[in-house]
Structure formats: C-alpha cells, structure tokens
Amino acid sequence: MNHEQATPTAAYQPVNGRLLEVEDLHVEFHTRDGVARAINGVSFTLDAGETLAILGESGSGKSVTAQAIMGILDMPPAKIPAGAIRYCGQDLLTMPEEQRRKTRGPEISMIFQDALSSLNPVFPVGWQIAEMFRMHRGMNKSDAKEQALRLMQRVQIPAAKERINSYPHQFSGGMRQRIMIAMAIALDPAVLIADEPTTALDVTVQAQIMNLLHDLQEERQMGLILITHDLGVVADVADRIAVMYAGRLVEKADILPIYAHPAHPYTKGLLDSIPRLDQKGQTLRAIAGLPPNLLRIPEGCAFNPRCYLAQDVCHRDLPSLREVAPGRWSACHFAEEVLDV
Amino acid sequence: MGTYIVRRLLQMIPVVIGATFIIFVMVFALPGDPLAGKCGERPCPAAYVQKFTEEHNLNDPVPIRYVKYMGAIAKGDFGTTYQGQKVSDELLRRYPITVRLSVIAIVFELVLGVVAGVLAGIRRGKFIDNLVLVSTLVIIAIPTFVIGSVSQTLFGIKLGWVKPTVSSAATWSELMLPGMVLGAISLAYVARLTRTNLVENLRADYVRTAIAKGLTRRRTIGLHTLRNSLIPVVTFVGADFGALLGGAIITERIFNIQGVGGYIVRGITAHDGVAVVGAVTILVLVYLFMNLIVDLLYGVLDPRISHD
Ligand SMILES: Nc1ncnc2c1ncn2[C@@H]1O[C@H](COP(=O)(O)OP(=O)(O)OP(=O)(O)O)[C@@H](O)[C@H]1O
Ligand SMILES: [Mg+2]
C-alpha cells in the first residue's frame, strides 16, 4: 500500500524492536462505595512481531489494562494515580490528548469482545471501516471504500463486495468479529490489542478467528496483546504469557515453560481447570473461592484466601514479582516449591 | 417495503370508518334543533323546513346519513353547514394557517430542544444540565393557557415586540410567537428525551469503539452518538406534528388564530355536525398519514427495523 509513505510515521520508531513499555501502572475507580483499585502496579513490555497473552479470571483487570493503554477509560470514574505507558519511548499518559488521539488507529488499535455492540448499528460496515481512512488519511469516500473492500476481502468475508453496504446486525457473530478486525488493522497499527476476541463465538469460529489474528500478526509483524481467560485458546498463538490476579501480574513467562511448570499456585490452578485430552475422565479442578473484592483486597498476597500453600507470611507480606528462574517471573513467596512439584 | 405501505394503507380504512362513524354519531346525538333561530323568533315555514330536512338528510336513520355523508366526502364534497357555508371552503382557508402554526412549533421544538438536550447531555451534572432539567420541568408544569397569556401580555402588550393577536391573514411572522407557545411543552420533552438518550448512548460500546478508532470527540458525539440518540426524538417530533395538525384549540383562542381547532370547537358549540365531521375526517386522515410517515422514517433511521 503506497499511501503509507505519504503520512509521516517517523515520529514513532521502536527502540530495538520495543513497541510498548507498561511500567508500574495503577488504575483506580472512584465509585460511590469507595475506591476500587483495579490495577495495582502492572509492568510488562511488548516487542514488534510478538504476541503477549494476558490471562486471568473475570475482574482481574485485563480489560482495564487494555483500556488504559488505549486511552479509552472513562475518567472519571477511572483515575491513573501512577505509572507510565510508553509507546516507542514516548509516554502516552503525559502526551497532549490531540497527539494521543492520533495514535489510536494508526499506531495502536483494539478489538473488542462483543462485535455486535461494538459496531455502530446505524452505519454500514464498509462505511465504518472506510471511516478510518477518511479521518486519519484524509482519503475521499470512494478511495476509502475501495480500501475497506480490500480489507473485508483480506479478513475473508465472503461476497465482500455485495456486503459492504450491509449493517452489523445482518452478519453472523464470526463475520462481525472479522469486520472489527478489518477496522482495527486498517491503518497498519504497530500494536494490536484483542480483548477476548473469541469469547462470544462458538468453538469452531473461535479457532478461525484466532488463526486469522495470528496470520495478520505475522504478516504485518504487529505486536499483539491477546487478552483471554482461557489458557487453551492462546497456547498455539502466544509467545509469552502474563497472568493477572486482582490487578497485579502474578506470573510472567514464555508460553511453553508455563504450561509444563507453572511458578505460581494461581497459574497452576488455571492450568488444572482446562480439559486435556491426555487426562480424559479426570474431573476438572476449578480454583476454589472467588477473586477478592477490589474495595477490600486482602493483606499480603491477594491470592492467599484461595491458595493451598498459604502460610503466615502470605497473610502478612505482599510478594513482589521476581525472577525465580531464567525468564520466569513469579509473585509467590513459595515460587520455587511450586516450580519443583 | 411496498407491500408494507399497501398493508398500512389498507389498515387505515377500518380506522377511518370507525373513527368518523363514532364522531358522526356523537355529534348528531347532541341535543338541539338545527333549525332553532333560523327564522328569527317565529317557527320556520313548513316548505323551508322540508327543504332543509331533505338537504341535510335529517329524516334518514343515522347509519344511512353516515353512508350518504361519507359517500359525498369521498367525492370531495364536504357538505354545507346549517348556516349554508361550504365546509371545504372554510377548511381550505383555515388549514394552511394550522399548517404554518404547526411548522413553526415543530421547528422551534426540534431545533431548540435538541440543542438544549445535547448541551445538557454532554455536560451531565454540570450547571447547564441542571438548568435544562429545571427549566424544562417548569415549562412542563405550566399549562399552555398560562404560557400563552403571559407571553402575549409580555411580548405583545408590555414590550410591544409583536402584535398581541393574529390577523385573518395569519402570516408567518405573526404566527411566530403563537408557534413558540404551542411548541413550548413539546420542546421541554424533546430536550429531556435527547438528553436521556444521549447520556445512555454515550455509555454504549460503539462509542468506546469510535474513541478507539481515533475519532475526534466532536465526531464521536456529534455523529456516532447523536445519530443513534436522535432516533426516538425524531419519531416523537413526527407524532407530535401529526397531533399539532389537528389544530391547537387553546393557542388559537388566545391569539385569535383562524385555525381548524377553533373551527371544530365552534362547530360543536353551534351543533353544526356537518362542519365537525368534515373537519375531523380530514384530521383523522392527516394523523394516520403522519403516523405512517413516522413509522417509515423510523425504518430509515434505524436499519435494524425492517418493514418487510
Ligand atoms: N467503570 C468502572 N467503574 C468501576 N469499576 C470498574 C469499572 N470498569 C471496571 N471496573 C472494575 O475493575 C475490575 C477489573 O475489570 P476488568 O474489566 O478489567 O476485568 P477483566 O479482567 O477484563 O474481566 P473479564 O474477563 O470479565 O472481562 C473489575 O472488578 C471491575 O469491577
Ligand atoms: Mg474484560
């Protein structure tokens, strides 16, 4: 696509392939009931061409993290009291809003879980994709529509030409998610965030969408953040995994070692709760108990009320995320013991 | 779509027949002698009574009279009042005035209502929001009669900005103040409806998507959110227009406007059944057509509604 050269993208150049650095991010929600500390010091990085999976139960703060990166949190009630989100070395949080707005779409883009409600019901899908080109590239309507058509074909929407003027409700769930993807990748973003892109879909369609995302990521060498609460979904596509619990990262590692040897009891619990072909017939073990109320996160390790290893120290001291083996990070006082068994 | 319209038009037939028949029966059931006072103090001569009775089919049973009357209307003859006036002449004179008055009221309530609603919605909880909420509540609480009389006194007499009453020509400029009075209460509803819908839609997922697409706040709110928020507003205003075209009795009375509302009231008080039924038949038709247009418009504005 030669229009790429026309717009100066030189403002953002990854340093040594590093696209994104999230550092000590905190997000809290000021609600009527008090302050919900949704994110409590999250740090991770993302390189070009890399897929990072963020994993965690419902309410662990995955979406809030993504929305903070994207800059689409409602503030108020949300507040970011501390932290930095650097994109190509520049802190998005201190950037003027107008400059930051221009990063949404061409630099960083996002796909949401529910494509039906995330697409505008009153505009044709082709129009919604074309809007990216018109607003960011100043393209005229017919050129932009031409680009939209190409994208619809790229994400394998059958009879794209005939369906370009259809409305979101006229598509199936899988097709709608493809349209979301087409819209998100329209301007060739360097970072793509997919927040549970397949949760609302049935299993066969899930795999197709995952494959499509994976292909696009390789083709365009994007940095992909894949948010999910299902370890099974990401095994084939992710390079690294970050596991979240109560607004903190509890484990960070490459994908393969984490499957073989989790270094945190919570990750272990998540692994035990996915069905495995080689262990047919065994009952699945879900993790007992519920994630903590964010208004009252327990003292010490937030996971201690549900942890089979919990000792006095876990009720007292907050474990920091430390490197427990080369490339393995865990926030557990007993990470070494967990790794060994 | 075509079949939908045909179906809707067919559905109108029983509604029109039912509504006009009820009106007809009610109007002619009103006690009173149409000949009273016709010939001064004395009773009318027998020949005149007979001619009058025949002309107005007064001896037929009500259903027959109804059929004869509707048959004439279908041919474009709205009949002649007991005073010898042609109903169609009077309607042709008065209807344009009612239309002008309604158009002013609608434009006023739509433009100002939407602007007020949007300002309140995007500054939720702030001063302007409270101002809009309180002032619309006040407008809704005050009867049109009071709003009309007060503004007539204030702008027409005290300040002398406009003429306090409307001449029989009823020009656009003369109808400006009465139109605003007529649209005031609906304006308050439009403002509130716009605000509520905007606030609700601003929380919608597709708005979050619009922001994530890197669109400006102006485009996110002014196009993506407002386009969705205005769907119920437009249908409300459309239905309101249908109702306004039925005449505005109070506003017409206050400002001495020769619209259809006053005509119907006068017809009822004068026991002039022909005038009432003729006017009401037109109003029923106009109202039904407006409703059809609103429903079609709804389908255009919201692609999820299908008229197949
Ligand atoms: N607007 C908000 N106001 C108050 N609290 C919020 C708001 N948005 C999110 N939260 C809180 O932040 C916490 C993290 O939410 P988040 O949506 O990030 O969870 P998640 O990990 O994405 O879960 P899921 O798998 O259900 O999507 C939740 O406890 C939620 O209640
Ligand atoms: Mg989520």
Cβ-Cβ contacts under 8 Å, B200 against chain A? none
pLDDT band for A276, please (50, 70, 90 cuts). low
Among candidates A65, A18, A24, A63, which has minimal Cα distance to A321?
Answer: A24
Cβ of A259 under 8 Å from any chain B Cβ?
A: no
Is A51:A237 a contact under the CB 8 Å cutoff? yes
Q: Please give the ipTM for the structure prediction.
A: 0.86
Q: Are B304 and A121 in contact (CB under 8 A)?
A: yes
Q: Which residues of B touch A72 (CB under 8 A)?
A: 208, 211-212
Q: What is the pLDDT of residue B197?
A: 94
Query: Which of A64, A148, A68, A139 has its CA nearest to residue A100?
Result: A68
CA of B6 to the centre of ligand 2 (A): 48
Average pLDDT, rounded, for chain A = 85
Task: Name the residue with higher pLDDT: A338 or A261.
Answer: A261
Write down the pLDDT at residue A119: 95
Q: How far is the CA of A37 from the centre of ligand 2 (A)?
A: 16
Return the beta strands (E) in B111-254 as ranges: none
The alpha carbon of B198 is separated from its chain's Cα centroid by a whole number of angstroms, namely 26
Confidence of residue A147 (pLDDT cuts 50, 70, 90): very high
pLDDT bracket for residue A127 (50, 70, 90):
very high
Name the residue with the closest Cα to ligand 1, atom 4. Answer: A29
Cβ pair A122:B227 closer than 8 A: yes
pLDDT the model gives residue A323: 84
Chain B residues whose C-beta is within 8 A of a chain A C-beta are 204-206, 208-216, 219, 224, 227-228, 231, 301-304
Q: Do A122 and B228 touch (CB under 8 A)?
A: yes
User: Nearest C-alpha of chain B: how many angstroms from A180?
Assistant: 9
Tokens of B280: 């009401």
Please tell me if residue A123 touches chain B, with a CB cutoff of 8 Å.
Answer: yes
Which architecture, in CATH terms, is B88-301? Orthogonal Bundle (1.10)
- For residue A291, give the ligand 1 atom closest to its CA: 29
Chain B residue with minimal CA distance to A66?
B212
Q: What's the CA gap between A70 and A85, in Å, rounded?
A: 10
Nearest CA in chain A to B220: A120
Q: Which residues line ligand 1 (CB under 6 A)?
A: A 29, 31, 36, 38, 56, 58-64, 74, 77, 229, 294
Give the pLDDT band (50/70/90) at residue A2: very low
Report the share of chain A in percent with pLDDT over 90: 41
pLDDT in tens, A217-265: 888 889 999 998 777 777 788 889 999 998 899 899 888 788 878 888 8
Both tokens assigned to A31: 């609600």
pLDDT greater than 90 at residue B216: yes
Stretch A172-195: mean pLDDT: 92
Say whether B156 sits in a helix, a strand or coil: helix
Q: Is the pLDDT reported for residue A286 higher than 80?
A: no
The DSSP-derived string for B233-271 is HHHHHHHHHHHHTT--HHHHHHHT---HHHHHHHHHHTT
Kindly give the pairing relationship between strand A108-111 and strand A248-254: unpaired
pLDDT band at B196 (very low <50, low <70, confident <90, very high): very high
Spatial distance between the Cα atoms of B22 and B28, rounded to a whole number of angstroms: 10
What is the pLDDT at residue B34? 64
Q: Which of B47, B61, B57, B63 is nearest to B82 (CA)?
A: B57
**B220 and B208 Cβ atoms separated by less than 8 Å:** no
Stated pTM of the model: 0.82
Task: List, by residue range, all CATH 1.10.3720.10 domains of chain B.
Answer: 88-301
Q: Residue A3: is its pLDDT beyond 50?
A: no
Q: In which band, very low, low, confident or very high, does the pLDDT at A279 lie, cut at 50, 70 and 90?
A: low
